[in-house]
Amino acid sequence: MKRFGEHVDSPLTRSFYLRPAPRVARELLGKILALDGASGRIVETEAYLGEDDGAAHSARGITPRTRVIFGPPGHAYVYFIYGMYDCLNIVCEPEGIAGCVLIRALEPLTGIDRMRERRAAAKHDHDLANGPGKLTRALGIKITHNGVDVTTGPITIHAPDRAKKFEIATSTRIGITKSADLPLRFFIKDNPCVSRR
């Protein structure tokens, strides 16, 4: 098998995403997100539960914007916020049931020079992708990637060659007002690349 950075060149299969969003969110920690030679270890995620979750985009049902969330699992849901940031979510759950995982932060692994060019404001490497808008800019993920199949590319997620041991911490989600009390944010404890509140 071909190797790329710290993972073998085989993305996670669709069955990985065909599960409840909170479980996928926890198990994405430590996996490798890659695009065009740049990659990072996922160190922070948030789960969104669908139509019963007031903070989820899918809470209002199927719209042109949210159609991908109700589609097959293993696809990217990318949206644009605050007129400046793209955010990457991965669709979970069986087709027809809304649920996704927001990728909140990465630990940069490969293509770091390109990340620095895209994120010139970052003072340190651990600041390159320590937030949902920062990581998409660092990797070059844009709204045009909305709907792409992460089991085939161009955005892919892989298991690392050697799983590192880490402790998973849980908290409420960040930057929301609806359903704000749900403990659906997961992160690698003490990792310096986790976003700041």
User: What is the CB neighbour count within 10 angstroms for residue 126?
Assistant: 16
Check residue 163 and give its pLDDT. Answer: 81
> How many independent structural domains does the chain possess?
1
Low-confidence ranges of the chain (pLDDT < 70): 1-9, 82-83, 197
pTM (2 d.p.): 0.94
> Residue 133: which CATH number?
3.10.300.10
∠ CA 167-168-174 to the nearest 5 degrees?
140
Please tell me the predicted confidence (pLDDT) of residue 8: 52
pLDDT of 184 reads 96
Q: What is the pLDDT of residue 46?
A: 98
CA pair distance 28, 64, nearest whole angstrom? 27
Look at residue 150 in the predicted model and tell me its pLDDT.
98
Q: Look at residue 1 in the predicted model and tell me its pLDDT.
A: 33
Q: Is 45 a domain residue? A: yes
Q: Which domain holds residue 166?
A: 3-188
Q: Is residue 195 part of a domain?
A: no
In angstroms, the CA 9 to CA 152 distance is: 11
Asked if residue 175 is part of any domain, the answer here is yes
Would you say residue 149 lies in a domain? yes
